[in-house]
């Protein structure tokens, strides 16, 4: 009985965390440019802006989606 309650509790917590993750918006902080998807047509503009930046070290996060 305890194993079943524990498994249900873990499942409920997992579903809650998944729902919270999916509800998060992908907005950016004020002053930062909005997120964009890199494509062949906009990669050159991104590369130019990235290379031109002198604000310090740059971090590039890539996602496979």
pTM exceeding the 0.85 threshold for the entire prediction: no
What is the C-alpha separation between 62 and 65, in angstroms, rounded? 9
- pLDDT per residue over 3-59, tens digit each? 999 999 999 999 999 998 888 877 788 888 788 788 889 889 888 888 887 777 878
The confidence score (pLDDT) of residue 49 equals: 83
Interatomic CA distance for residues 47 and 43, integer angstroms: 6
Q: Taking the alpha carbons of 31, 37, 42, 46 in that order, is the dihedral positive or negative?
A: positive
Question: What is the pLDDT, as a whole number, of residue 65?
Answer: 63
Longest CA–CA span in the chain (Å) reads 62
pLDDT score of 15:
96
């Amino acid at each position: 009985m305890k194993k079943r309650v524990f498994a249900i509790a873990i499942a409920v917590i997992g579903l809650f965390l998944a729902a919270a993750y999916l509800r998060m918006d992908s907005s950016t902080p004020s002053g930062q440019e909005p997120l964009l998807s890199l494509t062949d047509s906009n990669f050159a503009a991104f590369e130019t802006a990235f290379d031109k930046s002198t604000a310090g070290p740059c971090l590039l996060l890539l996602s496979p989606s």
